[in-house]
């Protein structure tokens, strides 16, 4: 009994030490300094029509020389996410007007057919920054009445978000790819003592996808910069599944300061209404319930 009293406190102390060193990514806040890199990682491609997720690099996106799969938190592991590094270069509180991800990329006939097929199947692309998933802002005008421009000033916009961004869209049986991404990241400036360097924390990650023809981007031949044209002067990037296509992937970065603290940064994501109805999952659940009920009745 005396040896038990000696052994038990030592075991509990060792156990508590192990628990203190355990860390789950995404649970503890991460502070960034001005100009420090913020990694943009890719997660997967999903669609409510097929219910089949794909890896990010299953499509011919700009790929780094070394693709590294990175583990995040437990929930992402259980969902089967395949988190990989990307070529997007983002720095804290540093804006970028237009930058080319990689050089002009030529899609083969098979790749063009695959991209057009994924666009037709309404696939979404999912990215994360500091463990925050990217979201697309949707603005609706539910109270707008057909009364002219005079009432438009008093109309209240209903802002909603959807997970990820659409790979592309279909218009008149033609397929268009979202090849330019405008990243909008929000940071919260942490209070510091006088004379100390300010720390920043990422509290929201948004994206505005655009389809811009490669020729309209006017990419520099020597540098990785480009010029994003006005909406009225640009043409969409069409993907013809019957021929080879030349695509230029680009992105821009804009930072905004937010009053939202790190502890509340998930509030926007938790209130998202999933606009995609997962019919396959619903039917699958109903079939399982009826099958189990039939088994119970048979017994």
Is there a contact between 249 and 61 (Cβ–Cβ < 8 Å)? yes
DSSP state of 32: B
Give the other-Cβ count within 10 Å of 158's Cβ: 11
Task: Please give the model's pTM, rounded to 2 decimal places.
Answer: 0.77
- Burial-class residue 245 by CB neighbours within 10 Å (0-12, 13-18, 19+): buried
Two tokens, residue 50: 């097929």
Largest CA distance in the chain: 88
Predicted confidence band of residue 53 (pLDDT cuts 50, 70, 90): confident
Could you tell me the two tokens for 1?
A: 């009994």
pLDDT at 22 > cutoff 90: no
What tens digit of pLDDT does each residue of 129-186 get?
Answer: 998 999 998 877 666 555 555 455 556 667 788 889 999 999 999 999 999 999 999 9
**Strand stretches in the chain, DSSP E:** 40-46, 84-85, 96-100, 105-107, 124-129, 132-133, 135-140, 158-163, 165-166, 168-171, 174-177, 180-190, 199-210, 238-239, 245-247, 250-257
Domain ranges of the chain: 36-141+156-298
At residue 35, the 3 state secondary structure works out as coil
């Amino acid at each position: 009994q005396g040896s038990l009293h000696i052994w038990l406190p030592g075991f509990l102390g060792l156990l508590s030490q192990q628990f203190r060193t355990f860390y789950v990514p995404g649970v503890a806040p991460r502070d960034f300094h001005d100009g420090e890199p913020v990694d943009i990682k890719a997660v997967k491609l999903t669609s409510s029509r097929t219910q089949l997720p794909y890896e990010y690099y299953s499509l011919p996106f700009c790929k780094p020389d070394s693709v590294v799969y990175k583990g995040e938190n437990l929930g992402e592991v259980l969902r089967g996410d395949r988190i990989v590094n990307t070529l997007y270069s983002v720095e804290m509180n540093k804006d970028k007007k237009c930058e080319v991800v990689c050089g002009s990329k030529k899609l083969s006939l098979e790749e063009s057919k695959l991209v057009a097929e994924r666009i037709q199947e309404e696939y979404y692309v999912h990215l994360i920054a500091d463990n925050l998933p990217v979201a697309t802002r949707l603005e609706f005008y539910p109270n707008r009445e057909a009364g002219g421009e005079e009432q438009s000033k008093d109309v209240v916009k209903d802002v909603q978000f959807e997970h990820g961004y659409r790979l592309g869209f279909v218009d008149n049986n033609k397929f268009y790819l979202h090849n330019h991404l405008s990243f909008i990241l929000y940071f919260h400036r942490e209070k510091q003592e006088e004379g100390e360097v300010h720390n920043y924390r990422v509290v929201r990650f948004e994206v505005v996808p655009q389809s811009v023809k490669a020729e309209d981007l006017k990419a520099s031949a020597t540098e990785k910069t480009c010029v994003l044209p006005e909406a009225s002067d640009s043409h969409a990037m069409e993907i013809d599944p019957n021929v080879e296509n030349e695509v230029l992937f680009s992105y821009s970065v804009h930072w905004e300061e937010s009053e939202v603290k790190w502890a509340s940064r998930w509030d926007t994501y938790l209130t998202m209404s999933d606009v995609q109805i997962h019919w396959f999952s619903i039917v699958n659940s109903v079939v399982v319930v009826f099958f189990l009920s039939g088994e119970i009745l048979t017994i």
